[in-house]
Amino acid sequence: MIVDPGLDHIADQMSAQVQPVMSHMAIGTGTTVEAAANTTLESEDFRKAFTSKTRTGSKVTYVTSFGASEGSGDITELGIFNAAAGGTMLSRIVFSAKNKGVNDTLEFTVEHTYQRAS
């Protein structure tokens, strides 16, 4: 879900471009359903700069690989942010638990497709 602060960020990027671009992915253990008013993850565990960020047409793809000691446990939520700490959250996703041991690597790919009016 693109959250309300994320919509404000998109508008900023199309006009004043005061806010930094999206740069980080965070994972956490929160399970509350996404809501438009979300500004943070429910229970953030680890945040890391994107491994890659690409744009193809109206689709933006964010990829982040979380390595050993970069978050662990039952990962159930993910967010896209424009800062290493704090910052603006663009989107939040809640999903079935992905167990990550402290020595495991877990990679997430998030695609945002912006629809054109028909």
Helix (H, G, I), strand (E, B) or coil at 74: strand
| Res 116: pLDDT | 65
pLDDT of residue 14: 85
Q: What is the pLDDT of residue 68?
A: 96
Q: Which residues of 10-30 are buried (b: 16+ CB within 10 A; e: fewer)?
A: beeeeeeeebeebbbbbbbbb
Is the Cβ–Cβ distance between 20 and 50 less than 8 Å? Answer: no
Residue-level pLDDT at 1: 87
Neighbours of 81 (CB within 10 A): 25
pLDDT < 50 regions, the chain:
none
